[in-house]
Structure 1
Amino acid sequence: MASVMTGPDSAMAARVMDHIRDPQGGSAAALFRDLPTAAAVVRLPLDMYVLTTADLVRRAAAAPQVVIRDVEFPPETVCEVPEFAEFFASSLSFRDRPDHHRLRRVMSAHFTPRGVAALRPALEAVVAALVAQVAAQPGEVDLVPALSNEIPARAMGLVLGFAEDEWPWVSASGRAMLARIATSFPHLEVTDRPVTSAQFRGIRARVEQLLDDDVPGYTLSATLARAVAAGELSRTEATDLMILLFMTGIDTVAASLTNLVLSLVGDPAARSAWLGGEVSTRDLIEESLRITAPLPFGMRVTTAELDLGDGVLIPAGATVILCNASVNLDPARFPDPLSWRPGVRPLSQTFGHGTHRCLGALLAMLECELALEALRPLGVRVLDPSRITWRSDISFHTPTRLPVVVGAGWGPATTGTDGAEEVR
């Protein structure tokens, strides 16, 4: 029987610390599979607690004394880009609960099933055009920058109300801001040029202008403009929400889509069931992302002592790590968790739970669905799995580089001596 909590000197704590120091690119499935059956809580050094089971993580995610820690940029970042540091430190994720809910409520209609469904025709055309463009390139193409990063950036441009010729600017601006965050923390890797103070001022000015532009009434900028006029938001709050979507609307979707394509390439049974129509694209996405969660951990801090029951008492000021990847493999919620059973599992925790569950989860699912549907008749092949590179931080479990051939049909990536396809 699994223990309730392991100490900081336990073998499981050592495995988790090894992963934190050096995330194993490709697959940490063995670690995430073992965590929920080894211990509901793994205590690490420095007063850190990893919650591993579905029951405990859901309880903690809903607890009012569990919050996202305030961001603390290094002094050099604050000095270089003070406006950006101030914006991000006061953004939606770091607001107290009443403010957080007030801001989310203004945007929520755009991310409901009805709101997302209304975007489908326009977004389907955007995705189809981009996939066709990628497929037209001869030879190999890196799927991450060519497709995975671009689909969510263009989708966000559409949602916010930017003209199509500005979508590349939305993409570049979002990645520049993400890069600035990455340069400020040693465990995050940088793949783009970080935003400068002058660039951020330009981003803010253009985004705020959306509130006055003649944009379609169904766009998020139009909704926020109406909220400002009604006194529900300040112009600064509305502008900050739109800027935040440049970042939060890109990375998670890009990681999800990349993982999905890699899963399809590496799992002939799943691919065959999907191509043969036995499994819907939506069910395939839900089950595949359950097994290969793109965001393994959610980092929180306790503002007061937290009693989760079953003998789990976490002190105030402790770091709480919600391990969504192990929750998705918890046999108490998902029997035989590594087996692929699309369409019959309960909802996974891929997009979080509680107050900070991803607001754009349904939009992310739609973007992935449309991308896979556009790729279905073309196919994707990985010729050399050894050239796939993975993110080296614990925030995301996804490739940073995925060289593929698009348009030559679906097939094995490469074949090992036992005949099995090897991509992870």
Structure 2
Amino acid sequence: MPAQSAISVAPSTRSVSIDVRDPAFYRNPLASYAKLHQQCPAFFWEEQQKWFFAGYDQVNGLLRDRRFGRQILHVATREELGLPDPKPHLQDFDRLEAYSLLELEPPAHTRLRTLVNRAFVSRQIEQLKPEIAALSHSLIDGFEKDGEVELLKTYAEIIPVTVIARMLGVPVDMAPKLLDWSHRMVRMYMFNPTLETELDANQASAEFSAYLKSIIDWKRDNPSDDLLTHMITSEKDGERLSDDELISTAVLLLNAGHEATVHQLGNAVRTLLETGTSAEAAFSSDAATERAIEECMRYAAPLHIFQRYALSDIELDDGISLKKGDKIGLLLAAANVDPKKFSDPLAFRPDRNEGAHVSFGAGLHFCIGAPLARLELKLSLPILFERLPGLRLKGEPQVKDSYHFHGLERLELEW
């Protein structure tokens, strides 16, 4: 179990203290989740001053519960909820958030998702197989002879950002800049970002938006067979996406299309190597590969928290009272290791077949890119282990000090 400084539980009041900056916690949050499951899977997190939920059934249910939403200002005013005014220095970042598919509720969410969804259905994604496989092989060609590699920068980052850029119709040679903008923006989703982080995220948002606006303007005169052109020209009920909606959606797809997959790829490789799992057995068939990928996503999820607003005053079954506008936290990665759902949940078993994890969320905001993420993992992981049969960790992997997104700073490998 982690040190007392990392997590302290008072079951009688369901009060929990967790220091997210304590390495004992963020390096191995699963141990803390086990303690929560044992003592109080629904708890009031003192440092965050919010209710959080760790149990599988409750997290899965609340993700689908339409009494909760990703936004609140469509049903209440700032004054009514006592919320502070928007920060002027975040106006570019906030503009992207205001039109983001991830933040919207119906009917705006329905309209936007319908226009985007066609590109992400499984039958469309399957067509990318040859391209993802070829990209994986070409990247390994570049470092195979070296006998060692830092995998995140040379493989895990490049595959998803290249694929999503090509899908959207954004020049692939912009990948380093896209990654830079994305990394700077997602720091805003951590607990209590600093003023410096806010200013930098806003600057990245402004630059990202201006770049995409120029691409969109060009594509209006030069349409091609890509997702941006599809979004520009598609209509629903006589309506087309506005520039703000187009830019926000493209930013979300580029950011979400690679951030989580980078972490998941790194986490999966680390897990397979640390547990001594036989890659040959784990990837022995399509069915075995799919089970192994799902177990990697269950056991080593890249995103640990998803938050929701209570859209009205709500009394939950376990006696928790919420007021309209209260925010709750859903611990996706904790739900994935709930012993009531998964047997021996802290064990990594690549052939496990005990039902769905919640790493992609559930309900209205279920990850639109799930088929793409699964395909990228299903191809890039077996290819890596097949091409580098002696693959092993070169040193202790360093976990990022960033609790929301659980991933590695670096992943040094040798063979």
Partner of 1:143: 151
Given that 2:72 and 2:325 are in contact with CA atoms closer than 8 Å, whether structure 1 keeps it comes out as no
Partner of 1:156: 164
1:28 shift after superposition:
1.7
Partner of 1:226: 233
User: Once the two structures are superposed, what CA deviation does each residue of 1:251-303 show, in whole Å capped at 9, x if it has no partner?
Assistant: 11111101111011112235352255597222111012211111111122222
1:175-254 correspondence runs (5 A): 175-182=180-187, 187=192, 195-196=203-204, 199-209=207-217, 211-212=219-220, 214-217=222-225, 219-228=226-235, 231-254=239-262
Which residue of 61, 64, 68 maps to 1:62? Answer: 64
The amino acid across from 1:223 in the alignment is H
Given that 1:47 and 1:319 are in contact with CA atoms closer than 8 Å, whether structure 2 keeps it comes out as no
Q: 1:77 and 2:119 equivalent?
A: no
1:160 shift after superposition:
0.7
Given that 1:25 and 1:392 are in contact with CA atoms closer than 8 Å, whether structure 2 keeps it comes out as yes
Given that 1:211 and 1:224 are in contact with CA atoms closer than 8 Å, whether structure 2 keeps it comes out as no
Partner of 1:17: 18
1:222 shift after superposition:
2.9
Given that 1:170 and 1:246 are in contact with CA atoms closer than 8 Å, whether structure 2 keeps it comes out as no
Deviates more, 1:35-44 or 1:243-252: 35-44
Q: Alignment length, in residue pairs?
A: 388
1:128 shift after superposition:
2.3
Partner of 1:38: 39
Partner of 1:415: none
Which residue of 250, 268, 291 maps to 1:260? Answer: 268
Partner of 1:167: 172
Taking the aligned partners of 2:13 and 2:218, their CA distance within structure 1 comes to 50
User: Once the two structures are superposed, what CA deviation does each residue of 1:220-268 show, in whole Å capped at 9, x if it has no partner?
Assistant: 1232122159524224322321122121111111111011110111122
Q: 1:112 and 2:114 equivalent?
A: no
Given that 2:219 and 2:229 are in contact with CA atoms closer than 8 Å, whether structure 1 keeps it comes out as yes
Compute the TM-score of the two structures, normalised by the length of structure 2.
0.82
What's the C-alpha RMSD, in Å, of the aligned pairs? 3.2
Which residue of 393, 401, 404 maps to 2:413? Answer: 404
Deviates more, 1:66-75 or 1:107-116: 66-75
Q: Per the alignment, do residues 207 and 248 of structure 1 end up closer, same or farther by CA in structure 2, a change over 3 Å counting?
A: farther
Taking the aligned partners of 1:118 and 1:249, their CA distance within structure 2 comes to 17
User: Once the two structures are superposed, what CA deviation does each residue of 1:339-377 show, in whole Å capped at 9, x if it has no partner?
Assistant: 415252201111111122211011011111111122022
Taking the aligned partners of 1:14 and 1:306, their CA distance within structure 2 comes to 20
Q: 1:300 and 2:301 equivalent?
A: no
User: Once the two structures are superposed, what CA deviation does each residue of 1:111-155 show, in whole Å capped at 9, x if it has no partner?
Assistant: 11112112222232223222322434x253221122111111101
1:324 shift after superposition:
0.9
Taking the aligned partners of 2:269 and 2:310, their CA distance within structure 1 comes to 37
Given that 2:399 and 2:406 are in contact with CA atoms closer than 8 Å, whether structure 1 keeps it comes out as yes
The amino acid across from 1:101 in the alignment is T
Taking the aligned partners of 1:330 and 1:288, their CA distance within structure 2 comes to 15
Given that 2:208 and 2:251 are in contact with CA atoms closer than 8 Å, whether structure 1 keeps it comes out as no
The amino acid across from 1:394 in the alignment is Y
SS of aligned partner of 1:309: coil
Q: Per the alignment, do residues 213 and 281 of structure 1 end up closer, same or farther by CA in structure 2, a change over 3 Å counting?
A: farther
SS of aligned partner of 1:97: coil
SS of aligned partner of 1:301: strand
Deviates more, 1:393-402 or 1:32-41: 32-41
Partner of 1:411: none
Which residue of 102, 110, 131 maps to 2:111? Answer: 102
Given that 2:9 and 2:39 are in contact with CA atoms closer than 8 Å, whether structure 1 keeps it comes out as no
Partner of 1:315: 323
Partner of 1:355: 364
1:51 shift after superposition:
0.9
User: Once the two structures are superposed, what CA deviation does each residue of 1:307-362 show, in whole Å capped at 9, x if it has no partner?
Assistant: 33244443333221101112111122222323415252201111111122211011
Taking the aligned partners of 1:251 and 1:15, their CA distance within structure 2 comes to 29
SS of aligned partner of 1:179: helix
Unaligned 5+ segments in structure 2 are 1-7, 74-83
Q: 1:124 and 2:129 equivalent?
A: no
Q: Per the alignment, do residues 196 and 361 of structure 1 end up closer, same or farther by CA in structure 2, a change over 3 Å counting?
A: closer
Partner of 1:328: 336
Q: Per the alignment, do residues 215 and 365 of structure 1 end up closer, same or farther by CA in structure 2, a change over 3 Å counting?
A: farther
Taking the aligned partners of 1:318 and 1:197, their CA distance within structure 2 comes to 27
Taking the aligned partners of 1:155 and 1:310, their CA distance within structure 2 comes to 44
Taking the aligned partners of 2:266 and 2:322, their CA distance within structure 1 comes to 36
Q: Per the alignment, do residues 8 and 374 of structure 1 end up closer, same or farther by CA in structure 2, a change over 3 Å counting?
A: closer
Given that 2:337 and 2:345 are in contact with CA atoms closer than 8 Å, whether structure 1 keeps it comes out as yes
Taking the aligned partners of 1:341 and 1:127, their CA distance within structure 2 comes to 22
Given that 2:21 and 2:401 are in contact with CA atoms closer than 8 Å, whether structure 1 keeps it comes out as no
Q: Per the alignment, do residues 180 and 243 of structure 1 end up closer, same or farther by CA in structure 2, a change over 3 Å counting?
A: closer
SS of aligned partner of 1:298: strand
- The percent identity for this pair of structures is 22
